[in-house]
C-alpha cells in the first residue's frame, strides 16, 4: 500500500511477475502503475505490504543490481551525448566489455549514427529509444518499463516487441506499463488490470476475456473496456 497525503495510490495490488514472462500492467491514468514501478525500483517506500524484486527488498543493493527501470519520463541530461549517457550507465553498473553491447543496441534501435547527438537534437521517439538502450544495457533479470511504446513509430514498436520477447525467452521478467493495448496484446503472457490502485483482474488474455463474459477470441481493448469502468 502507498499513500500520498490522504490519497491512496496503491492498495490491494497483489500479483506476481514471473521470470521468462512479459507482464503488461494496464489501468486508467492515475491507477497506480508508475507508483508500483517506483516502489519496485526503490524510489518510493510502501507504507504497508510487501514487495520483492528478484527475491530481494526494493532498494537493496541486490534488487538494484537485478533491476532495470525506465521511467515514463526518462531523465536525459542536456549537454550530454547519446554515447555519454550510455557510458554513464555502464560505469554505474560496472559493466565489463559494455561497448560491444552498446553498439549492438544502438544499431538495433537505429541510433548507431547518432552517438554524438545531444538530447535536444533528438526527436521524442529517438529520446525514448535512447532511454530504452540505457535500460537494456546491463541485461537486468527484472525489467520495469513505464510506457516504453510511447512515441515509437510502428517499426520501432515492432523492434521493441521482438527485443522484449527475446529477453523474456532468455529468462528475464519483463514488466511493461502501457496504454497501447495493440502492443500489449502482442507480447503479454500475463495482463494485470489495475483500477484505483487495486488489481481488478489478472491472467492471460483468454482468461480475462472469460472473466469479462466475452469470447476467448476477444481482443485486449474489448476485454479491458469490459472489465473496467469509466475513469472518474
Ligand atoms: N508524488 C506524488 N504526490 C502525490 N500524489 C501522487 C504522486 N505520485 C502519484 N500520485 C498519485 O497517485 C495516484 C497513482 O499515480 P500513478 O502515477 O502511479 O498512476 P499511473 O497509473 O502511472 O497513471 P498514468 O497512466 O497517468 O501514468 C494518482 O492519484 C496520482 O495523482
Going by CA atoms, what residue is nearest to atom 29 of ligand 1? 30
Domain membership flag for residue 148: yes
61 is a domain residue: yes
In this predicted structure, what is the pLDDT of residue 221? 97
What does the DSSP 8-state code read for residue 229? P
Q: Report ipTM (2 d.p.).
A: 0.96
Report the separation in Å between the CA atom of 7 and the middle of ligand 1, taken as the mean of its atom positions.
Answer: 9
Distance 110 CA to ligand 1 centre (A): 32
Distances (CA, A) of 44 to 17, 24, 107: 20, 21, 34
Radius of gyration of the chain (CA): 18
Residue 228 Cβ < 6 Å to ligand 1: no
For the CA of 194, the nearest atom of ligand 1: 21
- Of all protein residues, the one whose alpha carbon is nearest to atom 31 of ligand 1 is 30
Q: What is the CATH number of the domain that holds 171?
A: 3.40.50.300
CA of 209 to the centre of ligand 1 (A): 27
Domain that holds residue 202: 2-75+139-227
Q: Which residues pair with 24 in a beta bridge?
A: 176, 191
Residue 198 in any domain: the answer is: yes
pLDDT at residue 90, as a whole number: 96
How many Å separate Cα 183 from the centre of its chain? 12
- Backbone φ and ψ for 11, nearest 5 degrees, come out as -160, 125
- Please report whether residue 84 resides in a domain: no
pLDDT computed for residue 28 by the predictor: 95
Around Cβ 36, how many Cβ atoms within 10 Å? Answer: 27
CA distance 87 to 136: 13
Residue that the C-alpha cell 490491494 belongs to: 12
Going by C-alpha positions, the residue among 45, 52, 44 that lies closest to residue 16 is 52
Q: Is residue 32 part of a domain?
A: yes
pLDDT of residue 2: 84
Domain count, the chain: 1
Question: Hey, which of 5, 6, 12, 33 would you mutate to test ligand 1's pocket, going by the most ligand atoms within 8 Å of its Cβ?
Answer: 33
Is residue 88 in some structural domain? no
In a domain, 68, yes or no: yes
Predicted confidence at residue 78, as pLDDT, reads 95
**Nearest residue to 22 (alpha-carbon basis) of 128, 200, 161:** 161
pLDDT at residue 104 in the model: 96
Tell which atom from ligand 1 comes closest to the C-alpha of 28: 25
d(CA 206, CA 212): 10
Compute the distance between CA of residue 182 and CA of residue 171 in angstroms, rounded to an integer. 24
Is the CB–ligand 1 distance for residue 73 below 6 Å? no
- Could you read off the pLDDT tens digit of each residue along the chain, which spans 232 residues? 888 887 888 887 788 999 999 999 999 999 999 999 999 999 999 988 899 999 999 999 999 999 999 999 988 999 999 999 999 999 999 999 999 999 999 999 999 999 999 999 999 999 999 999 999 999 999 999 999 999 999 999 999 999 999 999 999 999 999 999 999 999 999 999 999 999 999 999 999 999 999 998 899 999 999 999 876 6
Has residue 111 been placed in a domain? Answer: no
Q: Ligand 1: which residue has its CA nearest to atom 15? A: 30
Amino acid at each position: 500500500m502507498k499513500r500520498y497525503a490522504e490519497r491512496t495510490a496503491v492498495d490491494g495490488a497483489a500479483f506476481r511477475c514471473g521470470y521468462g514472462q512479459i507482464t503488461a500492467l494496464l489501468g486508467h491514468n492515475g491507477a497506480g502503475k508508475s507508483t508500483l514501478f517506483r516502489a519496485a525500483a526503490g524510489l518510493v517506500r510502501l507504507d504497508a505490504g510487501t514487495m520483492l524484486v528478484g527475491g530481494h527488498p526494493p532498494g537493496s543493493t541486490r534488487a538494484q543490481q537485478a533491476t532495470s527501470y525506465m521511467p515514463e519520463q526518462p531523465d536525459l541530461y542536456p549537454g550530454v551525448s547519446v554515447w555519454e549517457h550510455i557510458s554513464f550507465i555502464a560505469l554505474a553498473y560496472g559493466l565489463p566489455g559494455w561497448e560491444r553491447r552498446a553498439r549492438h543496441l544502438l544499431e538495433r534501435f537505429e541510433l548507431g549514427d547518432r552517438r554524438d547527438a545531444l538530447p535536444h537534437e533528438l526527436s521524442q521517439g529517438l529520446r525514448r529509444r535512447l532511454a530504452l538502450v540505457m535500460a537494456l544495457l546491463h541485461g537486468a533479470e527484472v525489467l520495469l518499463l513505464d510506457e516504453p511504446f510511447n512515441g515509437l513509430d510502428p517499426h520501432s514498436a515492432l523492434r521493441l516487441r521482438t527485443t522484449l520477447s527475446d529477453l523474456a525467452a532468455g529468462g528475464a521478467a519483463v514488466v511493461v506499463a502501457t496504454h497501447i493495448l495493440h502492443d500489449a496484446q502482442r507480447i503479454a503472457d500475463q495482463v494485470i488490470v489495475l483500477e484505483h490502485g487495486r488489481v481488478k483482474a489478472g491472467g492471460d488474455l483468454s482468461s480475462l476475456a472469460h472473466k469479462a463474459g466475452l469470447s476467448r477470441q476477444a481482443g485486449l481493448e474489448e476485454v479491458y473496456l469490459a472489465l473496467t469502468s469509466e475513469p472518474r
